[in-house]
Structure 1
């Protein structure tokens, strides 16, 4: 009888598990997988590779541009007003290649970003834009909102952007990040980094 006392609870548990496996929740439809039409984690830079024409960078004020950097085997887009040459005013953009947003199932964008020693997000800021209606000489720009790096946390803490909706755009677009700062004013000489960019 001692053996039966142990077998009976096990049998009940087994039957309960079988019925639980057929619960209505298991019949719910899973979300459709949406492959990325564009993805860059910059690990090609970690490996010492250099794809041609991946990103373009332009300095609107000053001469300092976005660049690629690597720390602890992780690579990313990098801008720092503190680095030499120290200029009174920096306004610099980095822009992706053209993407056909119509090929994306969801038309969404995600990325991660971080800040270092930023104390003023008005003059030392990071912004996200989409360029569309692109011609050889011009493009319309739309500023988009995203979850930005926090100031009251340890420097260089990565933050997820959240899901950025791109459904208002059609055809060819470009993703652009803008950073501003000052290398001669200690209030505005912080650093920004961007990584893990995906459009899907």
Structure 2
């Protein structure tokens, strides 16, 4: 059984892995991220890979001789509306603008996931992405202001968390709910099983 390392500080991703019975350690990624694409699916795949590799390099420095039984999971989530990528809001005004744009409409949530496993002296990279459509009911300016004032949107892509109070305005989704929360765990388990790895032991 490999030791699983999550290259993310996200409490939502930790919770999702724990819910499905995966035992893991947390070692958040640290480094300067660079993207070369404007296509949402490619962006999240690039960022998830970079986060996983940042953690891999950190582990190499800490325990260079004991990496064969380690599996690293990196992930990144973005919101996209009409082809425009919406990251975390820079301030409350940006959060209001994003939510005003998304209310009453359908947008996409992309999560990229990278799994790293050690083969001899190199990391073998397995990357995929999942996309979910999210539809919001129309929302008033007052409801948006109330939510933004709660500070909940400030650390979330697209300025909302589907599992929080903003979930009251979700008309429906097409795809994986957990993907919107931050990690498509069922797809992750499926993809790693194809590699001959059972994340749940």
TM-score by length of 2: 0.29
| Bigger share in helix | 2
Larger RCO, structures 1/2 (Cα 8 Å, 6+ apart):
1
Q: Which has the larger radius of gyration?
A: 1
TM-score by length of 1: 0.29
